[in-house]
């Protein structure tokens, strides 16, 4: 299975970058499934139904989120009935929405997508190791699902690496989100799980992790209350990860980063 994952879409610049570059990536990479993290898609904070539907029209299949999932309150009734927009699985029981989605391709193959969130330097939340273990209790990689993909939304590299190694061989791939900086460590773990610490941001890189530079600089320099952060409005870059898995085993056979747009060096893998 060929899986394209697009990292945190940040504001209008990120949405425009997705719309501009996704068709070219579909042509060159020929993905079976397209997953995006959309938790910052609405003016840099949260997502709403209108944006979700615009992503589906572009060819996106599943949307993951993170700690900003509830910032647009109108998303709550939508996520309760949506099968394609998911939130971190380790939110407390009773939280609206689902932490996992099953997507069936036209040829009958099945992909399970799980969204989890870290706990280090993040809001208090349930244990992601236990929550994902429970979600995988009846799964047999390559049998019940041809592939299992996890978006691990977390702050620290150590927690992301620990999570990926804990589930090595039980899921097809673990890709990190949240820091908005693409990492250069795409590789396959010992037991066949593909991994990259962070997919990076889809947005304007002439910024501070997607935000207009002036406000965060003022915060660091003055330590005084300043205006709310606002998304940078320049041309966006799309960053993500391309993954290829073996349908019989569910293990990753190839994984590499994707980067299209200005500021960062453009890179489209040949896998």
Arithmetic mean of pLDDT, 6-30: 98
Q: Does 43 qualify as catalytic in the annotation?
A: no
- Whether residue 261 is predicted with pLDDT greater than 90 in this model: the reply is yes
Q: Which residues, at least 6 apart from 181, have a Cβ–Cβ distance to it below 8 Å?
A: 198, 200, 201, 209
- Whether residue 17 is predicted with pLDDT greater than 90 in this model: the reply is yes
pLDDT in tens, 25-75: 999 999 999 999 999 999 999 999 999 999 999 999 999 999 999 999 999
Catalytic pick among 21, 27, 43, 68: 68
Q: C-alpha distances in angstroms, 256 versus 37, 169, 180?
A: 17, 18, 17
Q: Where does the pLDDT of residue 226 fall: very low under 50, low under 70, confident under 90, or very high at 90 and above?
A: confident
CATH at residue 233: 3.60.21.10
* pLDDT given for residue 257 in this prediction: 98
Evaluate if pTM is beyond 0.75.
Answer: yes
The count of domains in the chain is 1
- Report yes or no on 122 lying in a domain: yes
* pLDDT given for residue 225 in this prediction: 79
- Whether residue 223 is predicted with pLDDT greater than 90 in this model: the reply is no
* pLDDT given for residue 229 in this prediction: 86
Closest CA to 17 of 244, 264, 213: 264
- Report yes or no on 73 lying in a domain: yes
- Report yes or no on 270 lying in a domain: no
- Report yes or no on 265 lying in a domain: no
- Report yes or no on 60 lying in a domain: yes
How far is it, in rounded angstroms, from Cα 4 to Cα 215? 33
C-alpha dihedral sign at 85, 108, 135, 247: negative
- Report yes or no on 205 lying in a domain: yes
- For residue 146, what are the domain limits? 2-260
* pLDDT given for residue 224 in this prediction: 86
Arithmetic mean of pLDDT, 166-192: 98
- Report yes or no on 59 lying in a domain: yes
Cα angle 153-133-160, degrees, rounded to a multiple of 5: 30
- Report yes or no on 267 lying in a domain: no
- Return mean pLDDT, the chain: 97
Cα angle 71-177-1, degrees, rounded to a multiple of 5: 115
Task: Sheet containing 62-64: give its strands across.
Answer: 62-64, 33-37, 2-6, 238-245, 252-260
């Amino acid at each position: 299975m060929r899986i394209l994952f697009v990292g945190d879409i940040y504001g209008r610049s990120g949405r425009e970058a997705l719309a501009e570059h996704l068709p070219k990536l579909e042509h060159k990479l020929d993905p079976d499934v397209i997953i995006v993290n959309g938790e910052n898609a609405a003016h840099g904070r949260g997502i709403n139904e209108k944006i979700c539907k615009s992503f589906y029209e572009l060819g996106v299949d599943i949307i993951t989120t993170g700690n900003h999932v509830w910032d647009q309150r109108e998303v709550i009734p939508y996520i309760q009935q949506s099968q394609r927009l998911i939130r971190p699985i380790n939110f407390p029981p009773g939280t609206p929405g689902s932490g996992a989605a099953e997507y069936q391709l036209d040829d009958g193959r099945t992909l399970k997508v799980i969204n989890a969130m870290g706990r280090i330097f993040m809001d208090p939340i349930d244990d992601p190791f236990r929550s994902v273990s429970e979600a995988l209790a009846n799964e047999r990689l390559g049998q019940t699902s041809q592939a299992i993909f996890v978006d691990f939304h977390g702050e620290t590299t150590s927690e992301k690496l620990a999570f990926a190694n804990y589930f090595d061989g039980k899921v097809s791939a673990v890709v990190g989100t949240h820091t908005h900086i693409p990492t250069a460590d795409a590789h396959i773990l010992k037991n066949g799980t593909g991994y990259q610490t962070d997919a990076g941001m889809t947005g304007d890189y002439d910024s501070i992790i997607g935000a207009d530079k002036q406000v965060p600089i003022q915060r660091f320099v003055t330590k005084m209350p300043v205006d709310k952060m606002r998304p940078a409005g320049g041309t966006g870059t799309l960053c993500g990860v391309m993954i290829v898995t073996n349908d019989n085993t569910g293990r990753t056979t190839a994984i590499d980063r994707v980067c299209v747009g200005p500021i960062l060096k453009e890179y489209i893998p040949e896998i």
